[in-house]
Every structure is written in C-alpha cells, then in structure tokens.
Structure 1
C-alpha cells in the first residue's frame, strides 16, 4: 500500500491527465498477461497480425511477471492533450542512471538489452516504443482516448456536485480517501508513506489498469492510475449512421463541425477553416457541447473542443 498525505492546498490542486506513453507502457502488461485484461481481448486480437513486427526483447524488458512497469514509460502527463511525440522526445533525454535505476526496481537488475552504449540503447528504446504506438495503439487511440476523456468529464461533474472526496473515493475499490489521507492498495506488501507536499496529485484514467497503480519510485511525482469507466463498450460495434440523416438532424454547419472535431480545435481555428465568424462558431459549439456531442478542455489560453463518445458515434468515426 502507498499512502499519499494531502494538505488542503494539495487537494485543491488535484488534476487529471492522459498520457499516451503511459498507456502504451501499461498496455505492455496485457502482452505479458493477457488473461488479466479480458476487456482488452478484442484489442489484442486486432493487433495479433502486427505483433511479430515489434521489438519484443525491448518491450518485454520493460515489464516483469508481476506486471510492474518501468517508471520511465509511465510519465506523469502534463495535460489531457499530451502528445506521444513529445513524450518520446522527452524519453530520449533520459540519463543512464535513471534508466538503470527504474529497470532495477522492476527486475532487480538491468536486462541485457538495455546495457551497452547509452545513446544506442535509448535510440532502440524510442524506436521500439514508436513502432508499437504506430502499429498497435494509433489505429485505436481515438476509441481509448474517448473512454478516458469521458471518464474525466464524468468525474469533473462529480467533483462539482459532490466534492473531490467523492471523486477520490470512487476511483477504484483499491483506493480509499478520508479527507486527508489517500490510501492505494497495491500488490506489493511494502507499506509506503508519501507526503504530496505541494507537488500536486495527478489522476490518470487507463484502460489497462484493473484496480489502481502508482509509480514504483516514491521520488516520482504523486500519480494514481485507475481504471477508466465505460471500457466494456469500447470495442462494441454498431451500424454507421446515415450521413444525410445526421445533416438533417444537426444542420449542415453543425454536422461539418462535428466531422472536423475528431481532433481538438479552437473556435478561432474552426472559423478560419470554415470561413465564418468566431462568434457564430462559438454558438454552434456551445449548443453541441450542451447536447453531449462535444467535450472541451483549456490548453494554455485557448479552449479546445473535440468530439465526445456520442459525437464519435454520430459521425461514424472509429
């Protein structure tokens, strides 16, 4: 078990994030122990044909039989829109000491594949992860991300109505919160006590966490990875809606906006793209958000909109 000690200022600064690299790292556990992730069996079946193309020596060197994963492939996300390219670039700057220390915490030693000239080891690691992302995650990331984003939206509403305590207590049956202490029950029998001490606590939904997970190294920023809601329906299929019917229902402008928002964009971006005023675009976006077709997030000074799960279903997008 790990106990995170939160002061009032720590509670007020709790935030959510999504990390593509962390999700890839956690997904390696399904490679190692597929029977532990029955909800992701459809994904494993879909990627079976490309898995022989992966660098398994590197990938399986990142996770052990306990399903512990090296911390450097579980980074704390900077925001809900963290980029896999940025995360892989940051991984390229890892020091030899950090690389070896994280691997030793998992395996007790450094696997042979990670010994040798440091720049060559890191280059191979980056390439192995980039290839795994491209072949196994990128085609299905919109589905995975939609589940995680919907989870964050749900918990943000819970926080607004019932307080952050209801959110923390509802993350998993392995997580308990008493107003100051956040206890996360883990498979490791070692009890750990970790003051948050102003570093901030980040909550990361995942489709590859069954109960709850945290960094192995207590020096890493406080983070709780927990099972995202709605995974059971992630791989369900349904007939594609008729595009003409969607246009008739929403109107041509809103249907076009829905189609364009498979990737986050601001109202200013959309106004330029569609040749209409920003105020007109904002009116449409607000109505579509209230109707549950769009999510939104703040990124720097901009507000970005993107399709919700419902919006994806209406636009017939994967």
Structure 2
C-alpha cells in the first residue's frame, strides 16, 4: 500500500463492528486451518453445530477471505444489512458473478441462480444469512464488541506512544515499511495507491490471515477499509465482565502471560506456571510479539521470552 503524507494524516478506525462483516469472517474462520491452538476446538464445535441451511453460504465465503463484498455490507444491524445485500447483488456485473461462481466448491448452480435474479435463490440466501447470524454471531456479539473495542484502544495507545507507522505495522507479523509503502507477505500480490483517500481500520476477532483491503463504505472515492486480525481472537475473549482493563484488552490468559514475562520465562516455564499447553503458549507469545509487547530469542534448546518496555508500560497503565 502506497501512502502519501495526506493518507498518513487520514488513518481512522471504524466506529464499531458490523454484524454481516463479522458473520462472513466467522464462516471464513471456520474453514481455515491456521491458528489451531486458538481456533481448533471452536472450529470443531462450529462444524458440528452449523445448521444445514447455512452451508450454501460456504460457496460464497471461501477461506482466503477474498470474497464478494455484496454479502458483507457495512450495515449496523441485520435487517439493514439484508436489504443492502439484495441491492448490492443486483448491481454486480456478469464478470463479477462469473468470478464468484467459479470459486464455489459446490459448483456454480446456486450462485448462478442468484446472478440470474432467481427469487427463490435470493430468499434462500436471505434465510441462510438470518440462520447463520442467529447461530454464530448473535450469541457472541458482546464478546465480538469487546474484542473490537479492546483492539482499537490498544492501537490508539500504540499510535500515541510510537506513531502511525508502528500502529499500522502492528496489524500483522509480516507487515513492514519501505519508506511510505506498507507491505504484507502472502498471496495474492497486488499494489494499491491510496492517493489521498486515507485508510479506515477494522479489527476482526475471527480473521486470522494477512490484512484484507476492500472498498470502504463511501465507495471507490472514499477511504479503503483494511480488515485485520484483532489482538484478541474470539475464542480467547472471556465471557462476562473482564477482571480489569488489561484483561479486557488482551484476554485473561494473555494478560497473565505478559505479567509473567516481566521477569522473563521459557516456553516450558510459561506452560507450567500458567497451566496451559505448549501450543497455546506459542500462539499467545506470537501475538504478543507481533504487537511489540514481548521479545523472543533462542538460547540453546530453550526459547526465552521477555516483556518489552512497551509491554511493561502497558502493565503499569492497566494496573
């Protein structure tokens, strides 16, 4: 992503999570195979409990996240979103429908019916979205909002302490700056020139891949939207009220891990002291390291972790 000075001055956060965007990310996350230590049991449960009426949505929403935006409208409630899905779908070009149908693993039949304006197919899509929202998003909406707000609070603090470049580079472990160009590793490869439009940031507690860039709510002339993995994935967000500000931001286990790392620990010591598995420790430390809160180095066969100055500062501010 190529930034101008004007773009760097106009980086903002989305004001809140959006139900159909998070629904799409939920169905994408359920099909991915990464971050098993965090999402493994959650994926198993979703696969077992997913209503049959929802499964056709998997033809539209693939694990790479590069999905048709018409099923992910920027709407603040479900009814507004479902109406927006129909309006946006009617505006898709034949080429866009052809691309969407070509990605469907179950064959293009149902998607082709949508492109032809078949009323029964569109009613089927509406019912599938409603059912999926009821089963997968609505019961967890307070936790989704908590993860969203905690990430925005953390990025704002990172922005204040270290500047906009550190804030943006912290959205993914592969992110790096070359001058005023922000780069992420991984396919597909493409370049975007923001050209003074700015950028809007949206964390998702379900997305686990590299950040996704999409057209923003104001259309092609407005700021694009960068959707990136929230600091705390949904399976790590505690249900109910968190024990403190730091728990709300990081999740209780991750906050305890950061506290333990003020004095430094090996991976095995963290697993023993916190009574969690070694794969879970690895997932937690990877995320804390990507956020600049800890450092990791190898000492012989052991892997040593320690809190950074930024991590210690966060612990102080969080009590």
TM-score between the two structures when normalised by the length of structure 1: 0.61
**Aligned-pair CA distance for 1:222:** 2.4
Contact 2:72 2:85 in 1 (8 A): no
For the residues of structure 2 that align with 1:34 and 1:106, how far apart are their CA atoms?
22
In the TM superposition, what are the counterparts of 1:98-247 in structure 2 within 5 Å?
98=92, 101-106=95-100, 108=102, 111-116=108-113, 117-118=116-117, 120=119, 121-188=121-188, 191-215=189-213, 222-231=224-233, 234-236=236-238
Q: Does the alignment pair 1:93 with 2:95?
A: no
What is the aligned length?
Answer: 231
Relative to structure 1, is the Cα distance of residues 83 and 40 closer, same or farther in structure 2, using a 3 angstrom cutoff?
A: farther
Is the Cα contact below 8 Å between 2:9 and 2:198 reproduced in 1? no
Q: Is contact 2:22–2:137 with CA below 8 Å preserved after alignment?
A: no
SS of equivalent residue, structure 2 residue 131: helix
Show CA shifts across 1:280-299 (max 9, x none). Answer: xxxxxxxxxxxxxxxxxxxx
Once the 2 structures are TM-superposed, how far is the Cα of residue 5 of structure 1 from its aligned partner? 1.5
Between 166-175 and 32-41, the greater mean CA deviation after superposition: 32-41
State the distance in 2 between where 1:72 and 1:37 align: 29
SS of the residue 1:177 aligns to: strand
1:168 counterpart SS class: helix
Unaligned runs of 5+ in 2: 244-319
State how far apart, in whole Å, the 1-side matches of 2:29 and 2:79 are.
Answer: 23
Partners of 1:217 and 1:237 in 2: how far apart? Answer: 33
1:188-232 deviations in Å (ceiling 9; x for gaps): 2xx322111233312111122223232478996622221111237
Q: Distance in 2 between matches of 1:162 and 1:53?
A: 48
For 1:258, the equivalent position in structure 2 comes to: none
Gaps of 5+ in 1: 242-318
Asked if 2 retains the 8 angstrom alpha-carbon contact of 1:5 and 1:181, the reply is: yes
Deviations 1:251-297 (A, max 9, x none): xxxxxxxxxxxxxxxxxxxxxxxxxxxxxxxxxxxxxxxxxxxxxxx
**CA RMSD, 1 decimal:** 3.4
Question: Residues 213 and 72 (structure 1 numbering): CA distance in 2 closer, same or farther, change over 3 Å?
Answer: farther
- Any conservation in 1 of the 2:29–2:207 contact (CA below 8 Å)? no
How many Å apart are 1:106 and its aligned residue? 4.8
